[in-house]
Amino acid sequence: MSSSDTPRTVRALLDAQAALRPEAVYALAVPADAADGAGAQLTFGHLARNCRQVATLLLGHGVQPGDTVSLVMPNGLSTLRLLLGALHGGWCVNPVNLLSSATQMAYVLEHSDCKLVIASPDWAERVRAVLATLQRPIALLVCSPDYDPAQDILPSAETDTPAPSPDALALLMYTSGTTGVPKGVMLTQANLAANARAISAEHALTPQDRVLAVLPLYHINAFAVTMLAPLAHGGSLAMPPKFSAGAFWQQAAGSGCTWINVVPTMISYLLEGAAPLHSVAGIRFCRSASAALPPAHLRAFEAKFGIGIIETMGLTETVAPAFSNPLEPGLRKLGAVGRASGCEARVIDAALQAVPDGTTGEIAIRGPQVMRGYYKNEEATRASFTPDGWLRTGDLGHRDADGFFFVTGRIKELIIKGGENIAPREIDEALLRHPAVLDAAAVGIADAHYGQEIMVCVVLREGHAADEPALREFCTTALGRYKTPKLFHFVHDLPRGPSGKVQRLKLLDWVAEHAR
């Protein structure tokens, strides 16, 4: 295929597969208990028709191609159909993180300028309550995430909208930053198509390959790797309602998966479970992403299950993977995030200049999958790029002589819990709203399951009292359960530098000496 024939939009990828293999399965639903039998299926040809039906649905609700549509929905075949249908028709999709608090969701829906929110029935009441607090009216459409051919939510009429351009905004996905205010990452049709092709090439995926899709579609990893990549190589995905360590292997083997895509938290839970009762010989590899995988867990997983792990790394700003270890086991390097995949990467110093191999600096990326910028945030966009167009990742690391990158720390102080980015300042500011709290500082601590958990140091106001249960309840209300700290330490003051800024990196050692 010449460069001029290379599909540069999600629509082009999807239409090519629909024309080439219309009867081939793109996605199949996997029941929570795989013993219940097979679920519904979507072929490429059926999906292409669904995309045109989604266009009719969206136009009927007053949203035009180019507008943003937000989805508040768990995984399901209809969630896939809505996301891909909107992308195919030229809309911009904004999958809302279901771990968001009401305040966070309100910010995202307001800031994104979305014209329509599509919510699943179990989220409809909460979304209505959020929409009632906003300054502008936003339409709401309630749809089941599950596909029932007998009760299809889509209209029968098909609309063929103009094909979106490669430069059209396709995905607006919000990610936490060091300020605690979510930033809307702007990704184009060309960004999404480029990384779908890169993922397929990196793992040598073919139409015979099927991935178990257990990660939520509001996460960039699932969006790019399990939903979009099969459109590039003609493979398929098997989608359970959610991740279940107890049912995982039965689901993977029973649906004929040849590879699995997980985060380190899931690997941790699988390691604590029993060995598979069903043969997993057909699973070629396990792909781990979103956070660093402890080498001990990698070795234990490969020894217990006999499946090799390919470590990768990427950002929402790069449509997930930008680095990958090789497919060939003998070429992988333990502890490395891999080599640049589908892009260029280098290590730069504080002056933004490239440094020699082996020298620690900030990892920077340039390539076709790198974001356009942050939505309505020119300052953050400028700060994230070097003058010559390299994306600054905020990760400290080095490259070895073989081109493998190793991440050794983070410039930004994000806490990465189960692959989700959590800004420490967001935790601080929530606690500071409690009348008894004078000061607070959160930091990530090692956790066997999540990679990192949240610890917070709290300084109480003189004459005020608050115990851990009270603050935990307060945080659950303000932040949601997922972002509520696991550990609370009550201290007299916090370690600060000359400028008065809390020295988070010293908190763990400092707590051991000063916590009461």
The whole-number pLDDT of residue 109 equals 98
Angle between helices 264-272 and 295-305 (to 10 degrees): 50
pLDDT range class, residue 146, cuts 50, 70, 90: very high
pLDDT band per the 50, 70, 90 thresholds, residue 509 = confident
Rounded to a whole number of angstroms, the CA Rg of the chain reads 23
CA dist., res. 358 & res. 351, Å (int): 18
Per-residue model confidence as pLDDT tens digits over 244-257: 999 999 999 999 99
Percent of the chain whose pLDDT exceeds 90? 75
How high is the pLDDT of residue 187? 98
Mean pLDDT within 197-207: 97
Give the list of residues 6+ apart from residue 67 with CB closer than 8 angstroms, or none: 91, 92, 114, 115, 116
Tell me how crowded residue 75 is: count the other CB atoms within 10 A of its CB: 25
50: closest CA among 157, 141, 196? 157
Phi, psi of 491 (to 5 degrees): -130, 165
pLDDT the model gives residue 275: 84
Q: Is 469 a residue whose pLDDT tops 80?
A: yes
- Over residues 470-487, the mean pLDDT reads 95
Average pLDDT, integer, range 361-381: 97
Confidence check: pLDDT of 201 > 60? yes
The pLDDT of residue 34: 60
| Exposure b/e, 102-139, CB count within 10 A at least 16 = b | eebbbbbbbbbbbbbbbbbeebbeebeebbeeeeeebe
What's the rounded Cα separation, in Å, for the pair 419 and 213? Answer: 15
Domains of the chain, earliest start first: 3-407 (3.40.50.12780), 416-514 (3.30.300.30)
DSSP string covering 396-434:
EEEE-TTS-EEEEEESS--EEETTEEE-HHHHHHHHHTS
Kindly report, residue by residue over 429-445, the tens digit of the pLDDT.
899 889 999 889 899 99
**Band of the pLDDT at 507, cuts 50, 70, 90?**
confident
User: Distance between CA atoms of 297 and 111, rounded to whole angstroms?
Assistant: 39
State mean pLDDT over 52-76. 98
Per-residue model confidence (pLDDT) at position 124: 97
Contact 337, 367 (CB under 8 A): no
Q: Is pLDDT of 186 > 60?
A: yes
Q: Where are the alpha helices (DSSP H) in 220-323?
A: 220-221, 229-233, 248-254, 264-272, 295-305
> Taking residues 454-459, what's their average pLDDT?
93
Helices (H), 306-432: 378-384, 424-432
Summarised one tens digit per residue, pLDDT across range 87-122 is: 999 999 999 999 888 998 999 999 999 999 999 999
Confidence bin at 499 (pLDDT 50/70/90) = very low
Say what the pLDDT of residue 180 is.
Answer: 61
Mean per-residue pLDDT, 228-252: 96
Pairwise CA distance, residues 459 & 97, whole Å: 31
Side-chain-side CA neighbours of 478 within 13 Å: the count stands at 17
Mean pLDDT over 63-76 rounds to 98
